[in-house]
Amino acid sequence: MEETKTITFTDKIKGWAHSFGLPRLIIAGFLLVLFIAAPIVGADFWMQVTNTINRFSWNAIMVLAMVPMVHSGCGLNFGLPLGIISGLLGATLSIEFGFHGFMSFVMAIIIATPFAIIFGWIYGQLLNKIKGGEMMIATYVGFSSVSFMCMMWLLLPYKSPNMVWGLAGKGLRTTISLEGYYDKALANILQINIGKLSIPTGAILFFALLAFLMWAFLHTKTGTAMTAVGSNPVFAKAAGINIDRTRTLSVIISTWLAAIGILVYEQGFGFIQLYMAPFYMAMPAVSAILIGGASVNKASITNVIIGTILFQGIVTMTPTVMNNMVHMDMSEVIRMIASNGMILYALTRKSEA
């Protein structure tokens, strides 16, 4: 009697673990251990929480950018750097045109939008031509665009002395400080400080707004059509949905969100990073949403939130805890193994039809 009971119990756990995914379980467990270990090894607990929340507010929108393309069946958007470049164009042009303070942030978004729409549209057309091979080509579209823009950052006639190399008087610097522009533009709105804990309310509200809009959009007619295209293209076609147009729309939204995402990241980080910096930015976002429970063809807002918290939690916690514990900084390596392992896990799983 007792034996059967245990079997059903372990089975239950097994089934639950299976649906949750073993790697996810490991990562969540790892984070839990880190949080428990942090005070023991002498790391400042509230400081860690603050950092995690901060980094969540920087990165969440870029993770959110994954959602529309997963819904429309375009897979994980490894081409995120393309959207990031639109955002960088918006950021640099806004500064170039002499905007300051919060206004420079608003203008950056306004200027980035047309770029994101144009790039997204072209990118979407391309992805429509190569259905089935999206992810690989997305990766390389991202890489090509980043390395192309490397040349452009040098060649475009930017003049603002805050951005160009001092000696040559031309060519943008690799990192541009945002002091006096939109440094902490969102984070400082309604910021809550309780002891050592500080919460960048504005940035989180901004993410919440976008996440809500995304959620609402997915429940409109166009949004449900998008989900239909992703989950059952044959049915969608029969229902009279224009597949190519829906897919293009999803790519444009994703690209635009990536552009906004990098701007929000910059306002938190305090610097614009150009040249090769956007190169690998897709990887953390992709693995974050996967850690949150998404798969190659299924993703929700909840996945975004959980995933970003877990991923950024690990990114912030590992270095401090590791350093305090064993005096070696293995965080970079652990992050690399965890994030790429997560992507690998998602890719090698039989995609549920």
Q: How far is the CB of 347 from another protein (least distance, A)?
A: 5
Q: What sign does the CA torsion over 305, 308, 311, 317 have? A: negative
Q: Is 141 in the site for another protein (CB under 8 A)?
A: yes
Q: Is 30 in the site for another protein (CB under 8 A)?
A: no
In this structure, the number of other CB atoms found within 10 A of the CB of residue 134 comes to 23
* Selected range binding another protein among 16-24, 96-104, 127-135, 190-198, rule: CB under 8 A: 127-135
Q: Is 158 in the site for another protein (CB under 8 A)?
A: no
Closest by CA position to 352, among listed 164, 37, 62, 70? 70
CA distances from 11 to 8, 16, 196, 259, 293 (A): 5, 8, 44, 45, 21
DSSP state of 14: H
Closest by CA position to 75, among listed 9, 134, 6? 134
End-to-end CA distance of the chain: 39
Q: State the Cα–Cα distance between residues 293 and 272, nearest whole angstrom.
A: 31
Q: How far is the CB of 295 from another protein (least distance, A)?
A: 13
Q: Is 130 in the site for another protein (CB under 8 A)?
A: yes
**Which string of x and - marks every residue 68-107 that binds another protein (by CB under 8 A)?**
----------x-----------------------------
CA distances from 330 to 39, 270, 319 (A): 19, 25, 7
Q: How far is the CB of 115 from another protein (least distance, A)?
A: 19
Q: Is 131 in the site for another protein (CB under 8 A)?
A: yes
* Selected range binding another protein among 38-46, 136-144, 216-224, 225-233, rule: CB under 8 A: 136-144
Q: Is 301 in the site for another protein (CB under 8 A)?
A: no
Q: Is 174 in the site for another protein (CB under 8 A)?
A: no
Q: Is 136 in the site for another protein (CB under 8 A)?
A: yes
Q: State the Cα–Cα distance between residues 227 and 277, nearest whole angstrom.
A: 32
Q: State the Cα–Cα distance between residues 179 and 240, nearest whole angstrom.
A: 51
Q: Name which of residues 238 to 297 contact another protein (CB under 8 A).
A: 276, 279, 283
Residue ranges that bind another protein, judged by CB under 8 A: 78, 126, 129-133, 135-137, 139-141, 143-144, 147-148, 150-151, 154-155, 171, 276, 279, 283, 328, 330, 332-334, 336-337, 340-341, 343-344, 347-350
